């Protein structure tokens, strides 16, 4: 067994040893550590053509927009409430998060070195620590070309797959596009959003559908989608192409011998989550909140490795957030006279994606199904 595979197995086994705790039983535990992994907030479309027409000048293509900023601030505020006054999670008289001011000894943040994730990290911290008079955050990052931790494209196997696996990707996902669209329909949609040339050939129909999906999701958050009736009508079907591609590259199947040998593309991140659990248990970690700002391409393999290959997992909305909460039993476990058993609660949510929701954050119904307990 290779070192890489061994580390991955250890990661999954340790996560599997941590009990999943429901909200109904959570006050039997005290909160020890919170780890947050989130996608950036909404942005202008990611396109390489007609950029001024499609994105405008205030928020150029790929840049976090005002709605995306609001999404992450609201996420931070939601988490602050959860860890200070939510009496189903903490004792409000002795909350987990006591500081209103950003504190370098309490919170650690790392982001990919991309403007929209760096700004998203800052926005979440603004919501989490509301005292702006003492707000001087430190956000760690590394060169994106070598960041295999938070940017899946930094993993050599992913780069190889993207470079040499185009035909395989087309073999898998072209049928999805063809089931939903003729080339003429795609080109009619493309004509609405200055994408005629990009969508001019059948050979590029997969890339066309994905770009139109991206444009539509970006316009949805800025309340401009209604101005493009065909794009709005076909948006869900267009995004099936993106879901197919994401699942093709990111899903983890332990029965596949190649994937089993390689491990998940998210192994470095999952391993670090487990390392922080171990460091908290042995007293060497002093941070209360550890926070990672990243991209949807990082979330796909992470959640697939945790057992979710659903459409929502493969196409997470802007600012989708996973929260890993390490808990310690405050009272004796059933059948035990001792306290101190550890458990893990994993939750997922995202802000609303349209202005009428005010981009308020809410949990979804994601559940991590693992078993047993550890000490």
- Show the CA angle centred on residue 9, arms to residues 325 and 299, nearest 5°: 50
Paired residues of 293 in beta bridges: 38, 111
Residues 189 and 290 in one domain: no
Instruction: Indicate yes or no: pTM above 0.85.
Output: yes
Residue ending a domain, choose from 225, 250, 275: 250
Residue 148, both tokens: 């295999």
Which pLDDT belongs to residue 161?
83
Across residues 164-186, what is the average pLDDT? 95
d(Cα 121, Cα 72) in Å, to the nearest integer?
8
Residues 264 and 137 in one domain: yes
pLDDT at 373 over 70: no
Across residues 353-370, what is the average pLDDT? 89
Residues 133 and 174 in one domain: no
Paired residues of 21 in beta bridges: none
**Residue 48 CA: distances (Å) to CA of 51, 64, 185, 215, 224:** 6, 16, 22, 12, 20
Kindly state the percentage of the chain with pLDDT values over 90. 72
Task: Evaluate whether residue 371 is within a structural domain.
Answer: no
Across residues 69-94, what is the average pLDDT? 97
pLDDT at 65 over 90: yes
Task: Evaluate whether residue 12 is within a structural domain.
Answer: no
238-274: per-residue pLDDT in tens? Answer: 999 999 999 999 888 777 787 777 778 888 899 999 9
CATH code, domain carrying 269: 3.40.50.1240
Task: Evaluate whether residue 311 is within a structural domain.
Answer: yes
Residue ending a domain, choose from 250, 284, 319: 250
Residues 47 and 113 in one domain: yes
d(Cα 291, Cα 345) in Å, to the nearest integer?
16
* Beta pairing, strands 29-39 & 139-140: unpaired
DSSP codes, 246-263: HHHHH---TTSHHHHHH-
Residues 81 and 194 in one domain: no
Residue 245's domain comprises: 162-250
Residues 141 and 52 in one domain: yes
> How many domains does the chain contain in total?
2
Residues 258 and 138 in one domain: yes
Across residues 294-300, what is the average pLDDT? 96
Residues 66 and 148 in one domain: yes
Across residues 16-37, what is the average pLDDT? 71
The answer to whether 212 touches 231, Cβ cutoff 8 Å, is: yes
The answer to whether 55 touches 109, Cβ cutoff 8 Å, is: no
pLDDT band at 349 (very low <50, low <70, confident <90, very high): very high
Which pLDDT belongs to residue 15?
52
Which pLDDT belongs to residue 34?
98
313-322: per-residue pLDDT in tens? Answer: 999 999 999 9
The answer to whether 91 touches 74, Cβ cutoff 8 Å, is: no
Across residues 281-306, what is the average pLDDT? 95
Which pLDDT belongs to residue 362?
98
Which pLDDT belongs to residue 157?
77
The answer to whether 351 touches 71, Cβ cutoff 8 Å, is: yes
d(Cα 112, Cα 144) in Å, to the nearest integer?
7
Task: Evaluate whether residue 10 is within a structural domain.
Answer: no
202-252: per-residue pLDDT in tens? Answer: 999 999 999 999 999 999 999 999 999 999 999 999 999 999 999 999 888
Residues 270 and 339 in one domain: yes
Kindly state the percentage of the chain with pLDDT values over 70. 88
Quick one: CA dihedral 65, 364, 20, 98, positive or negative?
A: positive
Residue ending a domain, choose from 187, 222, 250: 250
Residues 294 and 267 in one domain: yes
Residues 71 and 173 in one domain: no
Residues 143 and 166 in one domain: no
């Amino acid at each position: 067994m290779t070192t890489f595979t061994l580390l991955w197995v250890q990661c999954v086994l340790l996560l599997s040893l941590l009990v999943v705790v429901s909200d109904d039983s959570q006050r039997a535990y005290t909160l020890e550590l919170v780890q947050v992994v989130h996608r950036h907030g909404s942005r202008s479309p990611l396109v390489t053509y007609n950029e001024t027409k499609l994105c405008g000048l205030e928020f150029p293509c790929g840049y976090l927009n005002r709605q995306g900023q609001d999404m992450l601030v609201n996420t931070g505020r939601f988490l602050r409430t959860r860890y200070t006054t939510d009496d189903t999670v903490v004792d409000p008289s002795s909350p987990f998060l006591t500081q209103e001011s950003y504190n370098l000894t309490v919170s650690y943040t790392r982001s990919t070195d991309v403007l929209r994730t760096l700004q998203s990290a800052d926005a979440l911290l603004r919501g989490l620590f509301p005292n702006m008079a003492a707000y001087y955050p430190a956000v760690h990052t590394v060169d994106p070309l070598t960041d295999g931790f938070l940017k899946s494209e930094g993993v050599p196997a992913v780069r190889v797959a993207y470079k040499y696996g185009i035909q395989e990707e087309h073999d898998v996902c072209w049928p999805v596009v063809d089931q939903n669209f003729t080339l003429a329909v795609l080109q009619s949609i493309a004509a609405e959003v200055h994408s005629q040339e990009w969508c001019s050939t059948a050979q590029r129909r997969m890339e066309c559908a994905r770009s139109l999906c991206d444009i539509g999701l970006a316009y949805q958050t800025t309340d401009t989608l209604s101005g493009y009736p065909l794009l709005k009508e076909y948006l869900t079907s267009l995004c099936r192409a993106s879901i197919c591609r994401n699942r093709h590259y990111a899903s983890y199947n332990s029965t596949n011998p190649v994937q089993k040998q390689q491990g998940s593309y998210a192994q470095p991140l999952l391993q670090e989550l487990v390392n922080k659990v171990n460091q908290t248990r042995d007293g060497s970690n002093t941070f209360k909140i550890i926070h990672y700002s990243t991209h949807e391409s990082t979330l796909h393999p992470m959640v697939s490795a945790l057992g979710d290959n659903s459409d929502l997992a493969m196409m997470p909305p802007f600012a989708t957030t996973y929260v890993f909460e390490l808990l310690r039993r405050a009272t004796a476990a059933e059948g035990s006279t001792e306290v101190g058993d550890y458990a893990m609660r994993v939750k997922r949510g995202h802000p609303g994606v349209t202005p009428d929701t005010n981009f308020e954050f809410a949990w979804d119904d994601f559940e991590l199904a693992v078993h047993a307990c550890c000490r």
